[in-house]
Amino acid sequence: MTRTKTSAAVAWVWVSVAMVVGASGGQETDPQAVVPIALPDLSGMHEAVQTQVGEAYAAVQTLESVVGGERQAERSAAFGELGKLLMAADVADTARMSFENARRLSPEDYRWPYYLGHLALRRGDLPQAADHLARARLLRPTDLAAQLWLGFVQIELGEPRQARAVLSDALLQYPDSAALIYQMGLADLAVGQHGSAVALLERALNLSPASNAVYEPLGLAYDGLGETARAQEYLERAGGRAGPDYARGAAVAFPDPLMGQVNTMLRSPSALRELGLQAGGRGEWTEASRRFRAAVELEPTNATIRLNLGSALLQTGAAVDALAELQEAVRLDPGLALAHYLIGALFERGGRDTEAITSFQAATTGDPNLVAAQISLADALRRTAQLEASLVPYQAVIHRAEASFGEALALVRLGRYQEAITRLAMAMELHPDEPAFPNALARVLATAPEDEARDGQRALDLILEVAEEHKTAAVAETMAMVLAEVRMFPQAVEWQRFAMGLATDSALPEVAQAMSVNLTRYLQNVPVRTPWRDDDPEYNPGPPVEPDMFGEPQP
């Protein structure tokens, strides 16, 4: 093991501690003298991180060979860089000692008390955090992050009035900072100023609508004003912290360049992957791809990171590169169900259904609970007329509305109309807000070739209720089918023409043309006995095909 990696040995930086002799002959420690630092065992870290820390440590060693008070700024910066790396690597105690040394050597540099404040926050020492952050603010009064964090800590310490003083000064400098306004709202809430708390928190939410952390204090502020309904509204929204809406953006974000440096400096696969995930969460897919690719370079056999990279590349539109990364992921880990699913989705978009089905099958084998893979497999099988086979994956996730709908249409295509009617009726019970089910049921009841399966009056009752709220081409076409079944042909003609007009208005003239076949039947007083045309999109589920997405168009 090279010295710079220093994986197992405990190394020490020893420096001469200058002493001054007082008038009485006593001795005092020079406040600019540094203390010995033990670099801990790094063997559990990734080799790239060991190298980074080792190199930073070596830089400190080199500078510390200069005795006395020389090159203090350089020495301070070297200790600071070492501290940031150790902080990023979660080696808190040694990081703290490094920052303390950096602060002793450059007491006017606000960065070192700022980082010390964050380390104190991490270990839960709020009074110490407040002291360090107050020093950082004193050294850099215009720093937004130092003022924000100091205000936060003071609120947590039960000192909201002190926090208000700090935050008020900061708001004069940054009047449109959502994070500052939010913290000021928390401070006002803590001192019982509910009216101003509401105004501030509403403004923070207006500036940062995705910041779901505002909901709970805003609800409490409204409750303090006696506005129970508004309070309940926000408190209920705050109660969904485990749901997808909350996960999209709980925090009130603000620029924090110093902590940003710490969070981005480690060259470890896990750290880079985390940065990629964060970038993806912000919708910055190019940045996410860059981070994931750097992680792959450090750990090329990590299937999960390959999956992350492939997923991010998909979002950027780089289909060929995405496919390559995903295929490498499943080569490294054949059981990686999500990677198989994404490969299938790519093949599906490219019009390569046979390969898509194979990948979807691998995904459902790897994880039978991967709902998206089960539905995609079933849709692909139904799309390719493998109807009996499609029923199995649909039924595996039949609790999902799209699975229930797909199963019913597969049964219709199989000519099993009574089963389809039963399934659609059950689905209506399970998904009362989904209009596709009563629309489809009305269509089958009106058009099934089997006399015993048809029920025109029941179909009419269903479609009249749907049509009150949903004026779509599909609903209008179903209405025409039902009216024809109950022998109201003039009205059927009107609704069919209405449906054709809607299709034309939606830039689907070919669909309108296909609808003309049924219009001719209604004009001849003949009902329809085909619920859906063979080319109807509902019979052919799946994304639009992009035949040239992999380069040359597929035959």
Which pLDDT score, from 0 to 100, does residue 278 have? 82
Going from the C-alpha of 211 to that of each of 135, 223, 280, 436, 537, the distances in angstroms are 29, 20, 17, 34, 39
Res 240: pLDDT: 45
> Exposed (0-12), middle (13-18) or buried (19+): which is 424, by Cβ within 10 Å?
buried
Burial (Cβ within 10 Å: 0-12, 13-18, ≥19) of residue 375: buried
* Cα angle for residues 330, 333, 338 (degrees, 5° grid): 55
Picking from 303, 381, 315, the residue whose alpha carbon sits closest to that of residue 348 is: 381
CB 243 within 8 A of CB 213: no
- Strands 27-29 and 11-13, by their bridges, are unpaired
Residues in the chain, pLDDT under 70? 1-32, 66-70, 239-250, 551-555
Which pLDDT does position 354 carry in this prediction? 96
Segment 248-269, tens digit of pLDDT: 345 788 899 999 899 888 888 8
The confidence score (pLDDT) of residue 46 equals 82
Please report, for residues 150, 183, 270, 323, 416, the alpha-carbon distance to residue 375 in angstroms, rounded to integers and kept in the order given: 51, 45, 32, 21, 21
Cα distances (Å, whole numbers) of residue 330 to 219, 310, 550: 47, 11, 19
CA-wise closest residue to 151 among 174, 128, 134: 134
